[in-house]
A and B are shown apart, each in its own frame.
Chain A
Amino acid sequence: MNNATEFTGAFPEPHIILGLRLLPLSLGRYKLLKRFNSPFVSDGEQSLDLKQVTEELFFSLVICGLTCKEFADLENKGFKRQLKRWGRRVQKYIKREKYFSILEKAVAFKRYLDEETQIPWRIFEKETNEEQSPAHWSTSIEVVLMSKVGWTEEKINESPMLEALIHYFKYLESEGHVKLVTPEVYDQMQELANENGAVFEALVMTKK
């Protein structure tokens, strides 16, 4: 992960799962996944049986394969036809793959979500006395991007999540709320903090 992520974030590499090319994960699609309780974006660990994994994966792929506007218009006959066609293509795909496992596809989908949300910085909050907002973080990002950064609803719905996160945290930094550091600097700081902690602990023990 390096600063180039800032630029590739706007045009991420495409992901194809079960023959379906996924659109970049955006705030809009993330919210849809949350709305339909997709286990892939669950805040807690879940146990699902194979049937549930299969259904949830197919449905999550549909969400991430369409624009938010198209998803809202899902009952349109054209999309229905496309879904049906994709379903039949999936059958051929499964037939061709020698050791097919839906679990592997679920892992690939999870990787897609992870890769699309890896930002190039570590974040330090500068003011820690503020109370945590009960709002979901995606809502906070959406509100800030729309009210302060000038994003439109369409941009919120369709732009890659990574781009949204980068703009959000950069804005927070320019306002002095957070400090962004590279992972390398963060690791150095962590190492120094640990070393100094150990030194002081040893000194305190000596004093006692």
Chain B
Amino acid sequence: MGLRLEAEIALNSATFERGMSRVKDSVLGTVKAYALGAIGVYSLERAFSATIETARELTDNSKRLGVTVEQLQVMRKAANNTGVEFEALAKAMDKVNEFRAGALKVGGDSNVSRMTAAQLGVTPDMLKNMSAQDILFGPIAKKIAQVNPQEIMKPLRDMLGRSASEVIPALTQDVHALQKQMESLGMIMSGETARDLMQIDIAAKSIQNIFINALAPAIVGVVKMFLGLLTSGGFFTEALDDIIFYIRKITHGDDKKVYGMDQATASAASSLLADAVKGVSEKTFPEVLANLRKNGAEGTRDLWGADVPFTIGPEFMDNFKGSTLREFNKFIESLRLPELTSVDDASKTSSDLITGLKKVLDDLNEPVPKPKKPDFKAAPQETHMRLPDDSLIKVGNFLGSSRGMIGGAQARLEQHAAQTAVNTGLIVQLLKNPPGGEIGQSKDSLFDAMFPQ
């Protein structure tokens, strides 16, 4: 293999560059596609969609609670660190807002409410100008740190409701320090990123609707094409499994069962029954059927690459209501890929829709994107530059320079060298123009300090 590659490249020197490029692309693409294919398209899709769901939840909750997406994540972390349910904290914030409205209105119990607030160190100005989060983690948290929380439990309950005692541990956290720590570790998803992801979510949902309602017909052809690859084994089989899994997920959900069997067993049962009636004529079919109804059938199915024995019990044949071989073959087909039946039902003939579906399928099976080439002309500034791209979301801030220890050491070295150069330049100036006796003392100290023994 290696020799052959070498020969291909060497024989045509004019296309050497192109050949090298192709070899490189081939190695990168194949290995990545293989590994990602083995992990499963559906697993990657789950990670993708769960992240988008989290972004949606963050955005919705931040709107509901009147805090930024970033603040919400910090509060959630504070709650998590202290074993407090975030929902309890969110409820407490809602209560603060309700309480504030009551305390700021004219008349009624507003005076009582203001006195309650005062007991917790919250002034009317604070009620007017601060967010619920700032009131909770500001004056109230400070008060809790100063006194025994039990002493102020009544006003706390009046302001935060029944969950007051539950949220106290979270309020003892220093949220500003926590926010700094989370930011330094890159643990905070920015509001901008969350909103961008939500847009993707909306787009993805539209695609799913189109997929089910209109574009489904074309998938029949594509999947049938893939059926031919079922027997070839290897990557294509895995890819097909994933595609079918994906289609099933968006058309029927994850728990589709066929006559009480999971999809893999149903598929294996289909093959087993097909083998049983292989070569059987209409005439001899009744005998084969009678045997199946009496004894069932035994076979093996692939489970994680191992042949696992399984049995179709005689009672399973009760599911077959017909009597002819043709009807039996239909029954077998229904076991093989039942989700395709519903896809067939949705069949339409618009060529535009088919084109659209092909695009969706292309996206699903899109090869790993080619790596971006660095702009060598800008090499001296490469650690500060952004590589050109057309990505929708900028998430590179946390994937930034990974020069790591070596880069860091180099940067420090440069900084040190620059500082030394400045100092040395000053020394030279002073040696050329000594200002007086005072300098001798400074010079010795400087050299001692800069070049310790």
Residues of A within 8 A of B (CB): 18, 36-37, 39-55, 58-59, 62, 74-75, 77-81, 83-88, 90-91, 94-95, 97, 99-107, 110-111, 113-114, 117-119, 122-125, 128, 137, 165, 186, 189-190, 192-197, 199-201, 203-204, 206-207
| B 412-453 to A, binary, CB cutoff 8 A, 1 in contact else 0 | 110011011011001101100101000100100110011010
Q: Which chain B residue has the least Cβ–Cβ distance from A111?
A: B185
- Whether B314 is near chain A, meaning CB under 8 Å from some CB there, is no
CB pairs A–B below 8 angstroms (25 shown) = A18-B47, A36-B31, A49-B391, A54-B47, A58-B36, A58-B43, A100-B54, A103-B189, A103-B193, A104-B187, A117-B406, A124-B416, A128-B417, A189-B450, A193-B449, A193-B450, A194-B419, A196-B446, A196-B449, A197-B419, A199-B442, A200-B430, A200-B446, A203-B439, A204-B429
CB–CB B387/A103 < 8 A = no
A101 to B398, CA, bound (A): 14
B107 at the interface (CB under 8 A from A): no
B-chain residues with CB within 8 Å of residue A78 when the two chains form the complex: 305
Chain B residues near A100 (CB, 8 Å)? 47, 50-51, 53-54
- Whether the pair B43, A88 counts as a contact (CB closer than 8 A) is yes
Check: B40 CB closer than 8 A to any chain A CB.
yes
Nearest B-chain residue to A44, judged by Cβ: B382
Give Cα distance in the complex from A97 to B54, angstroms. 10
Question: In this assembly, does B57 line the interface, its C-beta being within 8 Å of a C-beta of chain A?
Answer: yes
Flag if B395 contacts A48 (CB, 8 Å). yes
Contact B51 A36 (CB under 8 A): no
Interface status of B39 (Cβ within 8 A of chain A) = yes
Contact (A47, B389) CB under 8 Å given A123-B413, A200-B427: yes
Q: Which residues of A contact B382 (CB under 8 A)?
A: 43-44
Chain A neighbourhood of B435, CB < 8 A: 203, 206-207
Chain B residues lying within 8 Å of A87, measured Cβ to Cβ, are: 38-40, 42-43
Task: Please tell me if the beta carbons of B39 and A99 are within 8 angstroms of each other in the complex.
Answer: no
> Among the listed B368, B383, B398, which residue makes an inter-chain contact with A43, where contact means beta carbons less than 8 Å apart?
B383
Chain B contacts for A39, CB-based, 8 A: 396, 399
Q: Any chain A CB within 8 A of the CB of B106?
A: no
Q: State whether B396 touches A45 (Cβ < 8 A).
A: yes
Cβ-defined contact, A51 with B48, below 8 A: yes
- Whether B396 contacts A90 by the Cβ 8 Å rule is no
Q: Does B372 contact A (CB under 8 A)?
A: yes
**Bound: A191/B396 CA distance, A:** 33
CB distance from B433 to the nearest CB of A (A): 6
B359 contact set on A, CB distance < 8 A: none
Of the residues B187, B395, B409, B416, contact of A50 by C-beta under 8 Å: B395
Quick one: given A110-B399, A200-B427, are A102 and B38 in contact (CB under 8 Å)? no
Q: Which of B35-89 contact A (CB under 8 A)?
A: 35-36, 38-40, 42-44, 46-48, 50-55, 57-58, 76
Cβ-defined partner of B44 (8 Å) among A54, A95, A201, A204: A54
Chain A residue at smallest Cβ distance from B439: A203
CA distance A200 to B419 in the complex (A): 12
Question: Is the Cβ of A59 less than 8 Å from the Cβ of B35?
Answer: yes
**What chain A residues lie within 8 Å of B5 (beta carbons)?**
none
B333 interface residue (CB < 8 Å to A): no
Chain B 339-395 residues near chain A, CB threshold 8 A: 368-369, 371-372, 374, 382-387, 389, 391-395
* B309 interfacial by beta-carbon distance below 8 Å: no
A34 to chain B, nearest CB (A): 10
| Interchain CB contact under 8 A, A122 and B450 | no
Interchain CB contact (< 8 A) of B405 among A97, A117, A186 = A117
- B423 contacts A50, CB within 8 Å? no
With the chains together, A167 CA to B52 CA distance in Å?
44
Given contacts A39-B396, A45-B385, list 14 more A-B pairs with CB under 8 A: A43-B402, A45-B384, A54-B51, A59-B35, A78-B305, A91-B42, A101-B51, A110-B398, A119-B405, A124-B416, A165-B405, A186-B412, A196-B442, A196-B450
B23 to chain A, nearest CB (A): 13
Is B197 interfacial (CB-CB < 8 Å)?
yes
B450 touches A99 (CB 8 A): no
Q: Do B395 and A84 touch (CB < 8 A)?
A: no
Q: Which B-chain residue is minimally distant from A51 (CB atoms)?
A: B48
Shortest 9 CB-CB contacts between residues of A and residues of B: A37-B371, A200-B426, A83-B38, A87-B39, A87-B40, A87-B43, A47-B396, A192-B449, A100-B50
Contacts of B36 in A (CB 8 A): 55, 58-59
| Interface membership of B94, Cβ < 8 A | no
Is residue B104 contacting chain A, with contact meaning CB distance below 8 A?
Answer: no
Chain A residue numbers with a CB within 8 Å of B369 are: 52
Closest-CB distance, B15 to chain A (whole angstroms): 23
Q: Give the nearest-CB partner of A109 in chain B.
A: B399
Are B46 and A94 in touch, CB under 8 angstroms? yes
Report the bound CA distance from A77 to B234 in whole Å. 9
Q: A43-B382, A50-B197, A87-B40 are in contact. Are A196 and B405 (CB under 8 A)?
A: no
**A58 and B39 contact, CB distance less than 8 A:** yes
Closest to B405 in A: A117
Across-interface contacts of A206 in B (CB, < 8 A): 435
CA distance A194 to B394 in the complex (A): 37
